Structure 1
């Protein structure tokens, strides 16, 4: 059914002229809506798809078809503020907008929280090389949000982003090595990636570097250096570092 639908959609859209832009936009929006829900395992996909096919193949004018599409699929055109801001660009292939829209769905920011939709857009963006989406997709795989939990996939996406310099992914990759999530435990690699992230100013990674120096994890044991990294993180307000410093006898 999906192959038939895509063939007919291309056929109908190929016949359009610039004067039929409204109709084309309607078809594209509904197609994207159906495809997103199909990817989420939506059981009504075939029924809803047939509705669009029936409208597209009718003898009505394109203007009438556009009006009927809007009436038949009202939810598609009832956009939230977040969707109004990002959806058009995301559908057009803008990787940044795709990641931003995924973030909105993940956090319920301006739109109803929907982890599956978040993963859908993160995948689109990550496939285009967006390092922030790659890290976010890794987080979804690590925690099983919107997708089946898969630590190997989490490690894969963290690695892609970390190797391109994304500091949150670098810390997350360090944690994978530290705990042995999706990869064999390796404290040397954990320290390496924590430090990469910490050097970019990420407070959580700075704290983790401090932990490594304090305990000799993947690096020589050095209390003085550990304190210096805890101080860096604490200066940015990281509470765990403040607590450690107080426990070590430093006022903070």
Structure 2
């Protein structure tokens, strides 16, 4: 029950609506929407406090369960209200420009301070986390990562729920979810290739999940022998990771010590993936 926000043709029209609107007004609208969402979240959540959000380890996320206690169904009108509010909120976040000297815009700062993304994800996770919900959230992050006007992945309150979502999709058997998962992973690898400074944050976030590994790498491996678009995107993404290993010692050590490619040097693995990519095209 998350926002089914997909960047389609109406985005340009919405962007025109925001032209000339001052950031303070956008922030006020965002906060008002969030206040309405919080009312509904707390109404159906017995914890009723952001301070009691469980850690990733406590949630025990898996692809076959919701990872936490399930509560009763949300009335359709309230579910639609949350979806509409969140769609507008995400659009405002996506369209916001960075502040002076690259500082966070006011909406992003509010999202980080209030832990908005994780609260939304955990609330969904406590109910039946269906393939449709996973698909919607993957598309949501694909849009945010690819189209946001300011960098989002530098901020742990954005990155952490993203990694929670990726972990929850591990081992999924739904083709649509697999395709969207690989697409998002490929997009993340492209971002990492352009901004390697984010790499350390990805490692630290993986450690939060109780595993000192590079989650993106682990999730890509099952798809590298696939045919079609999914396999091609997985191989492309893994090639980007291997190119990073030449410059980042931590990535290289992870590939050498924490994966089943242990006997293969990163250079040889890079060549292998390049050949596999050419053969499968």
Same fold by TM-score greater than 0.5: no
Larger Rg: 1
TM-score (ref. length: structure 2): 0.34
The TM-score with structure 1 as length reference comes to 0.37
Give the structure with the larger helix fraction: 1
